Amino acid sequence: MIPALQRVCRRSLILAALCLIPGNPLRVHAETPPAPPFALQKGDLVTLVGETFVEREYTFGQLETALTLAAGDRAPGLRFRNLGWSGDSVFGDARSYFGPPQEGFDRLMKTLGDLQPTVLVFCYGTVPVISEGQPWTEVPDLAARLGDPEAGLAVFLEGYERLVLAAKAASGAGIREVMLVSPPPLERVAPPLPDLTGRNVRLAAYRDAIRDLAKKHGWRFADLFDAMGAGKNPVQESAPLTDDGIHYGQAGYALAGSALAKSLGLAVPTRAGTEAPVEALRQAVVKKNRLFFHRWRPANETYLFLFRKHEQGQNAKEMPMFDPLIAAEEGKVAALAATALERLKQP
């Protein structure tokens, strides 16, 4: 054998042997094992953060009801908080009152610090897709990049990564799950409403990018877009899922609840949508959500906490009075969930 070739063979054998030694940096590692199945646990506080799809859920309660039923009796003390804000961006644009987007961003971080959740669920992506080609954030050095679709997607991902990392840090040491949920598809509805389903191609691109972002950080990903049909469902003239192709209604959120649970590997009892105890549970969830909404987003916040507090600031002391009311409703939710689960076990 040619001497040079012999040396190459010897080196190859030596490197191969080194790769087998435990702890050696040259050792070939197996692929990262898959994450354990998602499960809600005792005492979990699940906080939902996102744009319009998340905020509107508080008035329907379907996602929370589905996840509560899917958790069953394995997660006593399970609670949910909805921090969605219609029209929001990953930079906090809609959450800011009189200042730049950073004001809204900081407001969200403070709220998360107060709540100290254990599970963070994010759902963003519809706003930049619907607004593609137009400014959807007022951050000065970023708004100029939004005219180009691919640059806009890059801006979104940069902001999303920053948002989730900051939210995780603000939430404290109790965080055990971070989940990114893809936005749901846009629906084709009957004329004269415009057909927006062509935007589902871009929504799928955002879904893929969100999935890759979650994989990068080891966060959990739920593909709600695909689980709800990826926008390929036929027009539903009699019972549309949305009001206008974008904003989901009662039927849409009911489908979204079961689809989200399924995408997480959870099972919602098959008769959940037809049993009276389940509807009673959902209504209790909605009532609790309404109380929490008024607790963290009072209609007259300018008078209570901001520059007009000299007029009515004395009433700010009433905000914590919502807490026992919320706790009482959560007790009712837990009792109704137990009743619903027991009914669903019956033949």
- Alpha-carbon Rg for the chain in angstroms: 24
Helix axes 62-71, 276-296, angle to 10 degrees: 120
Model pTM score: 0.86
Q: Could you tell me the residue ranges of all domains in the chain?
A: 43-268, 271-347
Per-residue pLDDT of the chain (347 residues; tens, 9 = 90+): 444 445 444 554 444 444 445 454 444 444 556 678 899 999 999 999 999 999 999 999 999 999 999 999 899 999 999 999 999 999 999 999 888 999 999 999 999 999 999 999 999 999 999 998 888 898 988 887 888 889 899 999 999 999 999 999 999 999 999 999 999 999 988 888 888 888 999 999 999 999 999 999 999 999 999 999 886 765 454 578 999 999 999 999 999 999 999 999 998 776 666 789 999 999 999 999 999 999 998 888 775 666 676 777 676 777 788 899 999 999 999 999 999 998 888 77
What burial class does residue 114 get, using C-beta atoms within 10 Å of its C-beta: 0-12 exposed, 13-18 middle, 19+ buried? exposed
Q: What CATH superfamily is the domain 43-268?
A: SGNH hydrolase (3.40.50.1110)
What's the 3-state SS for 191-243?
Answer: CCCCCCHHHHHHHHHHHHHHHHHHHHHCCEEECHHHHCCCCCCCCCCCCCCEC
